[in-house]
Structure 1
């Protein structure tokens, strides 16, 4: 896809904006989930729940330390972080590096899309899909959770892409076979080992990735993810003491399979 400088500029703004939202979502989604789970647990145990709702209230972007509302010029992806030297304009407390890192990841992983033969609609869908994958990776690494919201976005974008390319059948087959295979593997492992080997979130993620990559790339996706996972375990988790989320390996492998 050939692009002019103006088109490149607006695409960079779009990708960075998605990155900014992704960084905020990766903080707010787990906070809201943990709050609702605590509330439900208290309700089931008939224990009064007096936790504050302040942490999950929908409100404008604000500093997590001084709670000061942030102006638009404080929220420019990467640029504001650099201009403020990584500190809040109001309380001078350090800003987490997660925000510029996630925003930069969006640029690194999305910019190569411009060199693929994609029309504008497909470009937007692929960019949104990759943003959802990055968000899922961050949350799964930190909390070992895979948001259903992200899987739904990946699924919708994948089906829309294949519908546009007249290859919807390979996407639907990917969903069905990917889900059935992963769920069967989960059931088999839990029956033999009496413990969970693959979470339901991973099963949904495999199904969503299969919808994107198609049935023909399912074996390559699982093989690559398994090899990367084994390599990581041998290198960094030799004793097996760390519980490793499989989602990031699936996502990394999915992006590699897509580009290659």
Structure 2
């Protein structure tokens, strides 16, 4: 019983650590991406470019207010946030709630895996996959961008999971059908309306989700994502003036279909 309890604690710390990394990545990746695009634009126009990247990914975590390097005990997932009373130890500036929320989401989404997958390899692969889902959903919701890095991790984990589970045929078939059908829809809508109905990032995400869930769960996932997106627009986006990223609905539906 003690060993089992210790395993739960260790796995929970692993999930929370993934959440801590995810929260930082969701801040740094958009900054780095926008900087890269600005640099490319300056090079195309032959305009001198000055690096003004605010967060260097090679440096240790810093307080965004006072720029003080944070110690390890300032970065303990969830615990540090509440012990510091939601404020920086050095300048007393409020700490964004995004960090504990993302860490808690990792714990909530990943902890049930302990009862589903006793195999350590499958458990770790699913944890990495779900972490990439949450990271992608946060970035897409905030910036309407889908990082290729997250899609690659999801696809690699999905194929590995189905290879171990000996269901690779269904995985590859869902990947091809998901990508082919949604890309055709993207191309057809653009040809008729002259604008994108669904982004190419969503096409890649659907293919990666299909590779994870398999051919029989692809249609229910897409149906659930479409219905949840419609409900969101009807209830919360009544004016319909704001374009809504589809990635979070796809990810919510994929996790729902997986667990149910």
C-alpha deviation, 1:259, in angstroms: 0.4
Aligned to 1:201: 201
Give unmatched runs, 5+ long, in structure 1. none
The 2-side partners of 1:118 and 1:159 are apart by 19
- The answer (yes or no) to whether the contact 2:178–2:218 under 8 Å persists in 1 is yes
C-alpha deviation, 1:50, in angstroms: 1.9
- Local SS of the residue matching 1:197: coil
The 2-side partners of 1:86 and 1:73 are apart by 14
The 1-side partners of 2:145 and 2:52 are apart by 23
Q: Does 1:245 align with 2:245?
A: yes
Q: Could you list the structure 1 runs, at least 4 aligned residues long, displaced by more than 6 angstroms after superposition.
A: none
Aligned to 1:210: 210
Q: For residues 139-192 of structure 1, give each alpha carbon's deviation from its aligned partner in whole angstroms, at most 9, with x where no partner exists.
A: 000000000000000001101100101111111111111100110110111111
- The answer (yes or no) to whether the contact 2:31–2:54 under 8 Å persists in 1 is no
Q: For residues 125-147 of structure 1, give each alpha carbon's deviation from its aligned partner in whole angstroms, at most 9, with x where no partner exists.
A: 11110000000000000000000
Aligned to 1:185: 185
C-alpha deviation, 1:57, in angstroms: 4.8
Aligned to 1:27: 27
**1:68-217, aligned counterparts within 5 Å?**
68-217=68-217
TM-score normalised by L of structure 2: 0.97
C-alpha deviation, 1:54, in angstroms: 5.0
Give unmatched runs, 5+ long, in structure 2. none
Q: Rate the CA distance shift 1:5–1:259 in 2: closer, same or farther, 3 A.
A: same
TM-score normalised by L of structure 1: 0.97
Alignment RMSD, CA only? 1.1
C-alpha deviation, 1:113, in angstroms: 1.1
Aligned to 1:46: 46
- The answer (yes or no) to whether the contact 2:173–2:215 under 8 Å persists in 1 is yes
